Amino acid sequence: MSIPRWAWVPFGVALALLAVPILGLLVRAPWTRLPELLTSERALDALGLSLASCVVSTLLVLIIGTPTALVLARSTGRWTGWVRTLVTVPMVLPPVVAGLALLTTLGRRGLLGQHLSVVGIEIGFTTAAVVVAQTFVALPFLVVSLEGAIRTAGGDYERAAAHLGASPTRTFLTVTMPVLAPAVASGTALAFARALGEFGATLTFAGSLQGVTRTLPLEIYLLRETDTDLALALAVVLLAVAAVIVGLSQRLRGAHG
C-alpha cells in the first residue's frame, strides 16, 4: 500500500514533537559522571525501591488483572459496559486525581481507611501505599490489552477442550493461557512501565521518604531543585528501562500477531 505524500508532513511534526525533547535530555545528560552518580546512595535507594515496588505491583496486576480480562471478554449484558468504563478510567485519570481518590478512600480519614485505622492498619507513608498507587494506575493497561486479545483469539480450541470434558478452570489454564501468553506478556510489560513511571498518585497518597516511598520519579522531581546532574542521570535510567520494556512489549505483540 502506498503512503500519500502529504502524510509525511504530520509524520515529521509528530516525530519532532516526540523525539526532539528526548534527544535534548540525552544531549544534556552528564554521561561522563553517570557511573559515579548512579552508584550514589540515594540513586541506589530510589532505583531499588522503584524496581522492588514495581515487581510487586506488576505481580498483583497479573494475578487480579488476568481473570478480570477473562470475565469482561466472556460476559455479555449491560453491566459489562459499565465495568469496562470503570476499569478504563484510571488509565486516563490525571495522576493527582488518582492520588486524591486513593487518599479519600484509603487515607487515615478516608471511607475505608478510617475503619482500617481503628484496627491499627495505616498504609499512608509506607511502601505498601506506593504499591497500591502503582497497582491502581497499572491494572487497566493489562486488563484492556488482554481483554482485546481474548476476544480476538478464537474460542475453537476452548470449545473443543470443554467438549472433551475439561472444566472451565482447566480450559483456562491449559488452553486459553498458552494461546494468550504473548498478549499477557506484552500487557504485563506495559503495566510494569506504567507502574515505574507512577508519580502523582504516589506523591499525593504515599509521601516521599528516601528508601521508603521516594521512587525514581519522585527522586528526580526533588533533585531537580538542587542536583540537576543527578536528576538527569536518573532520568536517563528511567528512559532506558522504559524504552527496553516498551520495545519488549512491541516485540511480544508482534509475535502474537
Partner 1 sequence: MTQRLALLVAGAALILPLAACSPAPDGPTVFAASSLSGVLPGIEPEASYSFDGSSGLVDQIAGGAPADVFASADQRTMERAVSEGLIDGEPRMFATNHLVLIVAKDNPAGVTGFDASLDGVKLVVCATEVPCGAATQRLAEANGLTLMPVSEETKVADVLGKVVSGEADAGLVYATDAAGSDAVEAIDVPGAEDDPNTYWVAVVKGAAHAEAARAYVDSLVGEWGDDLQHFGFGPPL
* Residue 209 in the binding site for partner 1 (CB under 8 A): yes
Scanning the structure block, which residue is given the C-alpha cell 522492588?
A: 52
Contact 204, 103 (CB under 8 A): yes
Residues 6+ apart with CB under 8 A from 37: 30, 43, 229, 230, 233
DSSP SS3 for 117 = helix
Stretch that binds partner 1, among 71-79, 159-167, 200-208, 234-242 (CB under 8 A): 200-208
CA distance 182 to 194: 18
Binding-site string for partner 1 from residue 219 to residue 248, where x marks contact by CB under 8 A and - marks none: --xxxxxxx---------------------
Tell me which stretch binds partner 1 (CB under 8 A): 75-83, 132-140, 168-176, 201-209: 201-209
Which span (138-146, 177-185, 186-194, 217-225) binds partner 1, by CB under 8 A? 217-225
Instruction: Note whether 31 binds partner 1 by CB under 8 A.
Output: no
Nearer to partner 1, 88 or 208 (CB): 208
SS3 73: helix
Q: Residue 66 half-sphere exposure, CB side, CA atoms within 13 Å? A: 19
Whole-number Å distance between alpha carbons of 197 and 50: 9
Based on the shown chain and the rule CB under 8 A, indicate whether residue 172 belongs to the binding site for partner 1: no
Considering only the stretches 65-73, 84-92, 169-177, 211-219, report the one whose residues sit in contact with partner 1 under the rule CB under 8 A.
211-219
Give CA–CA dist 185/118, Å, rounded: 40
Residue pair 136/57 in contact (Cβ under 8 Å)? The answer is: no
> Shortest distance, CB of residue 122 to partner 1, whole angstroms?
8
User: Of the candidates 27, 109, 154, 257, which one interacts with partner 1 according to CB under 8 A?
Assistant: 109
Interface with partner 1, residue 88, by CB under 8 A: no
Q: Which residues lie near partner 1 (CB under 8 A)?
A: 5, 8-13, 15-17, 103-104, 107-109, 124-125, 203-204, 207-210, 213-214, 218, 221-227
